[in-house]
Amino acid sequence: MCGYAVIDVSDRRTCTYVECGVLTPERTGTAEIRLGNIACWLTDVINELRPTVMAVEDVFCGKNPRSALALAQARGSVLAVAGLSGLVVHSYAPTVIKQSVTGKGNAGKPQVAKMVSALLGLRTPPQADAADALAVATTHGMRFDIDRRTQGTDGATRNAKVFQPKVVQR
């Protein structure tokens, strides 16, 4: 599964919701087919919504090395799509993301979803993986120097779209 989120970030670091969702390849396919599907879907999302930068979550190495390997492979597909799309990628540790969004580096998924919904003015929290993606995008939007990365050649500051794919192994 790959949660993704797109937000607009103003020059005042105000984040506005654009879209989020979860890309779910069929479990019956081989790893290369599932990774290829994720790459194709992400390419479609990028082509449609035209983000200007990508933020991703650092790979979390839990107790299961097999899951960590699958996550790393999927993250590699995401990074390859970013590179082919000309997007600069910024990466954040899970504790940094949780701290940024909730104020606690050890916050649980429900708390992250609730806070992201509040920050972006959503009436209902999105699916957990999409909420995680929104948290990464929001973290980047609040932390990164918006003026420097969005200033055009004419000196005008433009709104930045932050795209965040978050890969989850199930």
Nearest CA among 147, 128, 149, 142 for reference residue 7: 142
Average pLDDT, the chain: 82
64 secondary structure, DSSP code: -
CB atoms within 10 A of CB 124: 6
- pLDDT > 60? residue 167: no
Q: What is the pTM of this model?
A: 0.83
Domains of the chain: 2-167 (3.30.420.10)
- When pLDDT is averaged across residues 132-146 and rounded to a whole number, the result is 83
Instruction: Count other Cβ atoms within 10 Å, centred on residue 128.
Output: 17
**pLDDT value, residue 20:** 93
Mean pLDDT of 84-94: 91
Report d(CA 133, CA 6) in Å as an integer. 9
Question: Does residue 137 contact residue 164 with C-beta atoms inside 8 Å?
Answer: yes
**How is the beta sheet containing 15-23 ordered, strand by strand?**
15-23, 2-9, 160-167, 53-57, 89-92
